[in-house]
Structure 1
Amino acid sequence: MPVRRHGSARDAVALPTSCAYVGPGSTYANPFRPGDSGPSVLGGPMDEAETVGLYAATLRGPVGRRYAALFARALRGLDLVCPCPLDAPCHADVLLRLANTPDTADGDIHRTACSLEGPR
């Protein structure tokens, strides 16, 4: 089963397994950053878990579902590399679940993207 790995884009190339870099600067990067104002009216700064949750919610939206389908196909079966610490919430966990959920293997990406969860 694919896993999340800690590292940079260079590390992903050097690893002996099939990997994809999903961190900053990649197509799969989380556009939401800890410390950014949250989407609520109060707009307090978000922590890591909130940014991951917002990323997951975005992939469930009408436009996000298209990206979720593309991401799932492109990342299926690959280890995902991101610079986030392994013990911290990371959007790579969202992408791993999305890409490796059995429902996505038969093309039922809509159901999977709609049930996508945030950090566990």
Structure 2
Amino acid sequence: MPVRLRGASRDAAALSTACVYVGPRSPYANPFRAGDRGSSPLGPPMDAAEAVDLFVATLRGPVGRCYAARFACVLRGFDLMCTCLLDAPCHADVLLRLANEHGSSNTFRTVYSLEGPR
């Protein structure tokens, strides 16, 4: 089963062709980052779990489902590398499950995901 690794894009390239970098400045990057403001510009900064929750919510939206399907096809079977700490919430965990979970490719859950209609 593919796993999440920690490193930069050059680290993923050096490992092998079985690893895809999904961190900042990649086509698979999470547009929401810990430290950014949440839904309100006056609200507190998001933590990592909230940033992952927003990523999941975006992938469940009408446009996001198209991206989710594409990501699932492209990333299936690959190890994913991001700059996040391995013990911290990361969107790469969402992408791993999305790409490699058995059953529906629209099923993606993490400890940090929003529960709601799909």
Output the TM-score relative to the length of structure 2: 0.87
Structure 1: gaps spanning 5 or more residues: none
How far is 1:41 from its partner? 8.5
Percent identical residues: 65
**Contact in 1 for aligned 2:99/2:105 (Cα 8 Å):** no
SS in 1 for 2:62: coil
Cα distance, 1:100 vs. partner?
0.3
- Deviation of 1:34 after TM superposition, in Å, equals 1.1
2:73 is the alignment partner of 1:77: no
Contact 1:6 1:85 in 2 (8 A): yes
Q: How does 1:44-63 map to 2 (within 5 A)?
A: 44-63=44-63
Quote the residue 1:4 is aligned against. Answer: 4
Per-residue CA distance 1:24-75 (angstroms, 9 max, x = gap): 0000000011121112596321000100111011101110000000000000
Structure 1 pair 41/84, CA: closer, same or farther in 2 (3 Å)? closer
In 1: Cα distance, 2:5 partner to 2:93 partner: 10
Structure 2 alignment gaps of length 5 or more: 113-118
**Is 66-75 or 30-39 further displaced after alignment?**
30-39
Q: Answer 1 or 2: which has greater helix percent.
A: 1
Show the counterpart of 2:32: 32
Q: Please, what TM-score do these two structures have when normalized by structure 1? A: 0.85
| 1:117 corresponds to | 109
SS of equivalent to 1:102: coil
Question: CA RMSD, aligned part only?
Answer: 1.8
Q: How many residues align?
A: 112
- What residue is the counterpart of 1:23 in the other structure? 23
